[in-house]
Amino acid sequence: MAKPLRIGMIGYGFMARAHSNAYCKVNHFFELEYEPVLKAVCGRNKDKAQEFAANWGYEAVETEWKKLVQRDDIDAVDICVPNNLHKEIATAAAKAGKIVLCEKPLAMDSTEGAEMCDVVEKAGVPNMVWYNYRRIPAVALAKQLIDEGRLGRIFHYRAMFLQDWTIKEDLPQGGAALWRLDAAAAGSGVTGDLLAHSIDTALWLNGSMKSVTAMTETFVKERLHTETGKVEPVEIDDACAFLARFDNGSLATFESTRYARGHKALYVFEINGEHASISWDLHDMHRLQYFDHRDDSLVRGWRSVHVTDGDMPYMGNWWVPGLQIGYEHSFVHQVADFLAGYAKGEPVSPTFRDALETQQVCDAVLKSAKDGQWVEC
């Protein structure tokens, strides 16, 4: 029988749903020493919190997060609320001795992030940030191929995260659904939301960055604010692009936007090495593109690897070759890895400390965009 790991969830939005699904599914597909138990969910609106609890099977409901983090029947606090609340909640949870699982980005900025790292480390509590894309099988496979040295010296890295959902000028900012457009809640726009994912993957696959030069733009300057009821200036970045140099000598380009008509959530990366290259695209997340120059020249070409076989990362736990899994499975894998690490007393990446590096790059990017200068990371 698996031992319980009692979850206290803060938030009942999109991410709370994705995580809850992962908690419910993980032990059906992974053999683990621990099993999540959904103890309590916290949200300011009691009716909605109760509805969420009923749907997912949380045993109790709280309306104040400060109460939730103090509950004795909770082992882990999962933070699924806007970025401006991460630090305060994580700090309180860590001080209460709870495991802290925090949605990305870690914090509003790297100053906050560094403080959060200090707190969880001082408290000695396991901690993790939900950069879930690392656990998509094709992305994990990319990591494995790179770590095996198949690519040789790396020359180039490029990443884009393109969406188009905010082109509409009459989309308001603020509130439960649209806090991502409100700088007070989100800290930044696409940088913390989308680029943070691209940066996390890049640091994981290609090591640390040395320096960046960036530009940002806000295409729609004013939007109705749902909380004030007034048209207010939009202070987040609608788009951000930057050039970077990595410690390993490779050059990189990064771009993210919510104004790329035709792209829903096109997260793409490509890495070019001396011998081989890899590329991947979230829109077809079950495929990895691989090119190996050492192939016989007559049949050398980009290989479209359908990452569904049992010998590929995580896939032995699911169906049979040819049958896809989806977005939600990345969270299941992250929970599975966390539970396995927890059982062994080992930290599971990305920890707060790992995620801090992404935050520092985000800060450098935003500073560069503001100052018009190259900035060291």
Binding positions for a second copy, 299-358, rule CB under 8 A: 299-306, 308-309, 311-312, 318-329
With b for 16 or more beta-carbon neighbours within 10 A and e for fewer, the 234-254 pattern comes to bebbbbbbbebbbeeebebeb
Q: Which stretch binds a second copy (CB under 8 A): 13-21, 65-73, 117-125, 353-361?
A: 13-21
291 binds a second copy (CB under 8 A): yes
CA atoms of 190 and 368, how far apart (whole Å):
15
Cβ proximity to a second copy: between 68 and 159 the closer is 159
Q: Which is nearer to a second copy, 123 or 215 (CB)?
A: 215
**Residue 241 near a second copy by CB under 8 A:** yes
Read off the DSSP letter of residue 174.
B
**How far is residue 359's CA from residue 374's CA, in Å, rounded to a whole number?**
17
CB of 215 to a second copy, least distance (A): 5
Q: Are 304 and 287 in contact (CB under 8 A)?
A: yes
Label residue 20 left, alpha or beta by phi (over 0 means left) and psi (-120 to 50 means alpha). alpha
Q: Estimate to the nearest angstrom the gap between the alpha carbon of 322 and the chain centroid.
A: 27
145 near a second copy, rule: CB under 8 A: yes
Nearer to a second copy, 256 or 360 (CB): 256
285 binds a second copy (CB under 8 A): yes
47 binds a second copy, rule: CB under 8 A: no
Token code pair at residue 258: 């919510």
Question: For residues 171 and 49, what is the distance between their CA atoms, to the nearest angstrom?
Answer: 26
Read off the tokens for 100: 């802290």
Q: Contact, 336 vs 26, CB < 8 A?
A: yes
Q: What is the smallest separation between the CB atom of 302 and a second copy, expressed in angstroms? A: 5
Judged by CB under 8 A, the residue of 14, 66, 67, 97 near a second copy is 14
* Pairing status of strand 76-79 against strand 99-102: parallel
Q: Which is nearer to a second copy, 119 or 138 (CB)?
A: 138
Among 82, 137, 189, 273, binds a second copy (CB under 8 A): 273
Binding mask 192-221 for a second copy (x = CB under 8 A): ---------------------xxx-x-x--
| Shortest Å, Cβ 36 to a second copy | 14
Our finding on whether 163 is near a second copy (CB under 8 A) is yes
Nearest approach in angstroms of CB 151 to a second copy is 8
Beta-carbon-side half-sphere exposure of residue 264 (alpha carbons within 13 Å): 3
Residue 98 or residue 287: which is nearer to a second copy going by CB? Answer: 287
Our finding on whether 56 is near a second copy (CB under 8 A) is: yes
Binders in 79-118 for a second copy, by CB under 8 A: none
Residue 253 touches a second copy, criterion: CB under 8 A = yes
Residue choice 73, 147, 247, 295 for contact with a second copy (CB under 8 A): 295
Distance CA 195, CA 73 (A): 36
To the nearest whole angstrom, how small is the minimum distance from the Cβ of residue 150 to a second copy?
8
Work out the end-to-end distance of the chain between its first and last CA atoms, rounded to an integer number of angstroms: 47
Across the strands, what pairs with 256? 161, 240
CA separation for the pair 29, 109 (Å, rounded): 37
